[in-house]
Chains A and B, each alone.
Chain A
Amino acid sequence: MNTVLALDLAYWQETSIKVLVVAILVPTTALILGIVFLFKVMSWMQSRLGPQEAGPRGLLQLLADGVKFLQKEDLVPDRADRIVFKMAPMIVLISTVLLYVIIPAGPDLIVEDLPTGIFFALAVSSLSVIGILMAGWASANKYSLMGGLRAAGQLIAYELPMVLAVVGVVIQAGTLSMQGIVLAQANGEIFGFSGFGNPFILTQFVGFFIFLAAVQAELTQAPFDMPVAESEIVGGYQVEYSGFRFLFFFLGEFATAFAFAAITSVLFLGGWYVPFVDPTSDLQNYLGPIVLFGKIMFVSFLIFWFRFTYPRFREDQLQTFAWKFLIPLSLVNILATAVLKVVF
């Protein structure tokens, strides 16, 4: 029984509504993140105005860009492997869309509350690596190949710290399900005071830092943007893509950023939970999405702030950072969490 709409719907009706919502949500969130951060916040930080023409104060610029991409000629390089070339952006986008399945926006607003929610998310996010490798190989271009190989190495290396950082949260929450993690934070206590719940960022601050770094690398944002190093190999694996195929990559990147920011908010900041409101009440279904959106904007700001500020790592320095620093740190984090969980 769907409590939000107070209707009794058949399973197929419910599912089709959910599919529709996700289909609308994915490009919209990419659009919002793109406009707010890529255009407005970036311009403000770089002491310039940014786009001003399209729409009121330039807010419809991305929409205009999207339309522009859609009406371009569909180019496939002559020596490219046509089928693989065309499939690569699809795979990246599929992995992004699947991430939206387990993001909770309210006690009942989730596409499917899988009991292994976060595990599903991590597994599905790794699919994009295959898409990127396919793009790099099939483009028949040396720059793309180099970009694709760099991307594969980087993304695989940073999967591990991401998973290990999440393990700490899971130990503390006691469940893999996303709603379960939110409720664990909602019902938790800080030294006996239960008003604000217990957002895991307070105890898992090490995990938060590792997870953010790993997310930055998964999104190939600076300082980890070697695969797409604009001033060196000019776009890396994306360089031969134009028109709507490039749009898929672009959407994939920003929608994934939104999804990962959402997952970060759920895991560390308390998700849709608002303090002083009963977590199981119906009011949460209306407040939850707004609260979650606010937390997502905060995390996205952090992600993009690092992107605009730091120069990029060299490939081997990037790998050293992952293997020799982040992974041992996350293992220590897990150890400490497990010990403290048992003791307290």
Chain B
Amino acid sequence: MEETPTDDLREEVLAAFAAELGDGLLESYIRPGNDLWIRVTRDAWPELASVAQRKLGFTFFDFLSAIDWLPSPFARDMDSQEDLAVHGRDEKAPTPMTQGYAGGDTRLQVFARLLSMSRQMGITCKVDVPDDDPSVPTWSSTFAGANWHERETCEMYGIDFPGHPNLIKLYLPGAFEGHPLRKDFPLLARRVKPWPGIVDVEPMPGNDDAEADA
């Protein structure tokens, strides 16, 4: 008999968040026995942090980053002459842009994860970042660890975090232009030096079928 397993712990936590955030909570998704995703409005984002930390026991800050849902125009970047000769060009129709669990409407989404030691579970929180005003209120006043994570997200995706004390580059040198982790920013290593392809690879001894580039 097929029974969708239920996850009482996560349902309870979701209900608690819904009670605290009200309209701020837009969508949610539970993978039973595994994890809980919620998506909130941008205005509710700082409130989510303080509610989670102070009232619901999610005191451990795991990470904060962003996802760019635009399908990459460069596919796998295997555009060496040899690869094209062997496999042909990647002629696929451009795939539509879809978001993941807990939905979303925008290209960029900021997501963060918190853990609750008492319940021994975590929660993944997502928030939409509008294209015309890519900024999300900062979490660094609630969770001090968000400081560096927001700096990295800002330089990699170009998302602003108003209220952050020191939003300067973390990894990249000062003169760097562009936001590397966005999908329309090519992998520069493959541009500066083209991928040599699999020209020189011989099959392993005893392995007669030369495998594809896996």
Within the complex, are A and B direct neighbours (CB within 8 Å)? no
Give residues in A with beta carbon < 8 Å to B. Answer: none
